[in-house]
Chains A and B, each alone.
Chain A
Amino acid sequence: MATSPTSPASDAGDIKAVPVRHYGRWLFALIVLVFVASLLSSAIRNDNFKWDVVGDYLFADRVLRGLWLTIWLSTVAVVLGIALGTLLAVMRLSDNPVLRWVSLAYIWFFRGTPVYVQLLGWSFIGALYSTISFGVPFGGPVLVSANGNDLITPITAAILGLGLNLAAYQAEIVRAGLLSVDEGQVESAKALGMTGAQSMRRIVLPQAMRVIIPPTGNQAIDMLKTSSLVATIGVADLLYSVQLIYAQNYQQVPLLVAACIWYLLMTSILSIGQYYLERHYAAGNVRELPPTPLQRARARAASVRFGGPGNPG
């Protein structure tokens, strides 16, 4: 009986093809697994790491206080940096030449000097200006006045130093995002009678977010670690707190490991937040949003249960 070469009839339902086997992938996964396992076991079995000390200090009061300071200091600095950076980017792209130049000068200065120096600079304000006052310039009456040292505490200096520096970088990130939005979007907003400010807020900025978020995630993660510079002006963040502890007990390695565990945990949480934020702003730019990891896991579980086409093995 001669069957035609197309005999598995084309109306027999969905295609159930045998997937291509990726043997290379499995081999590579095995190598990675062995490598990671041996690395872990060498670290765990090496007594010099003193895992018991890591455990003792991971939740120690002083460490947690430092952790908390790192979290809120970074948060405040990032919020300040993003708000000011967005403002600077909009100024930089404005029709108003005064705003453009002010923004340019700001970015020039704060991007052009080391953040370390800026931190020290803010903390020295009290020494440079014993009183800080606002009033009519060049010898006019004074409206508000304060002692420099009272006004700029180490914490204020830390917030200003980190936040104002971040703003300069963030301004360029936001500007890149704004430039990435098609000009036609602005034109149709204009044609509908929107003002420049309205089209910026409602049309351009939301679409620019897609481009702005990934590098901003970088900045936020970077800030968690850059904030450890505040140790130099006497603010006890996470890193400085463990340094203070090992200065007394000489347990450098386990204490630094403990700090790194906290840093990794914080950056992991930020990365997850970034993923969902990106997903939110992807609306309209991709035909279908990618599934969240949870949705993906559920789909996989379902396909295993019902014998659908999943990965082999």
Chain B
Amino acid sequence: MNAASGTPMVEALNVHKRFGLNEVLKGIDMTVQPGEVVCLLGPSGSGKSTFLRCINHLETIHRGRISVDGALVGYREKNGRLHELPEKDAVRQRAEIGMVFQRFNLFAHKTALQNIVEAPVLVKGVAKKDAEARAGELLTRVGLGDRGGAYPSQLSGGQQQRVAIARALAMDPKLMLFDEPTSALDPELVGDVLDVMRDLAKAGMTMVVVTHEIGFAREVGDRVVFMDGGVVVEEGPPSQVLDAPREERTKAFLSKVL
């Protein structure tokens, strides 16, 4: 429905967000097409993680609009006025957007398999047996087919993050959001997680990735968006933004991280 009709997967228009008096997003415009992989780069405090969290309504925005697959996020527009979505509708929206966190956030009291099975059974009403079979496949896909019975505390950071990706995929999301998925990992574990994300991109998943992995952005990203101080400074294909940046702030940032 989306690709054919040309509806963008994510469309953000003039998004503003404040924490108290501190304005962290100062008018973000961004479009992500279905199947596209967009990497958000920028110094810490630039608002990229906050923007990502606004896309699935973990944070509310104060001005502007965000739509996912043509539907306004968190609100309904009726007679020119915005109405907050009741919980059951807001929840349905979120269920279609997968999110992977910097700190993994696996459910500590559940095994890897139980982590993956939980939401499909509880939220989508999938039969437990089917959900478990699917979870097994997903674990194999992220290279952890034999670790289904392990608790998060028994897994390395890289393994936990791969389970977290499998957990998000189990909901069959139409969009995946990654919030610095490798920032909390030991250097030698980063590769495994990036491999999984690379395969996901190849399979055609629409992805928005907040990352500091310039190499990943260059190789996998269809587009790179550089943010600083709550605005989009520069965006374009990786070859342009990363190798021939036009803006001074982009150049300064890249000179520090490359």
Q: Of the 9-residue stretches B62-70, B106-114, B192-200, which lies at the interface with chain A?
A: B106-114
B-contact 0/1 string along A163-193, CB 8 Å cutoff: 0000000000000000000101101111111
Q: Of the 9-residue stretches A64-72, A86-94, A196-204, which lies at the interface with chain B?
A: A196-204
* Interface of A, helix, strand, loop or mixed by DSSP: helix
Say whether A191 contacts B94, CB under 8 Å.
Answer: yes
Q: Of the 9-residue stretches B37-45, B97-105, B131-139, which lies at the interface with chain A?
A: B97-105
Q: Is B180 an interface residue (CB 8 A)?
A: no
Q: Is B203 an interface residue (CB 8 A)?
A: no
Q: Is B161 an interface residue (CB 8 A)?
A: no
Say whether A191 contacts B109, CB under 8 Å.
Answer: no
Given A193-B95, A193-B96, A203-B107, 17 more pairs with CB closer than 8 A: A182-B108, A184-B101, A187-B58, A187-B105, A191-B58, A191-B97, A191-B99, A192-B94, A194-B91, A195-B87, A195-B88, A206-B109, A281-B109, A283-B109, A284-B108, A284-B151, A287-B153
Number of interface residues of A (CB under 8 A): 24
Q: Is B119 an interface residue (CB 8 A)?
A: yes
Q: Is B168 an interface residue (CB 8 A)?
A: yes
Residues of A within 8 A of B152 (CB): 284
Residues of A within 8 A of B118 (CB): 192, 202-203
Residues of A within 8 A of B124 (CB): 193
Q: Is B240 an interface residue (CB 8 A)?
A: no
Residues of B within 8 A of A227 (CB): none
Most chain A beta carbons < 10 A, residue from B109, B111, B122: B109
Q: Is A285 an interface residue (CB 8 A)?
A: yes
Closest 7 CB pairs of A and B: A193-B95, A188-B105, A192-B119, A184-B105, A191-B99, A284-B151, A284-B109
Residues of A within 8 A of B25 (CB): none
Residues of B within 8 A of A286 (CB): 153
The CA-CA distance from A209 to B147 in the complex, in Å, is 26
- Quote the shortest CB–CB distance from A287 to chain B (angstroms): 6
The CA-CA distance from A184 to B88 in the complex, in Å, is 21
Say whether B119 contacts A194, CB under 8 Å.
Answer: yes
- Quote the shortest CB–CB distance from A206 to chain B (angstroms): 5
The CA-CA distance from A284 to B151 in the complex, in Å, is 5
Interface residues of A in 252-295 (CB under 8 A from B): 281, 283-287
Residues of B within 8 A of A284 (CB): 108-111, 151-153
Say whether B108 contacts A193, CB under 8 Å.
Answer: no
Q: Is B140 an interface residue (CB 8 A)?
A: no
Q: Is A207 an interface residue (CB 8 A)?
A: yes
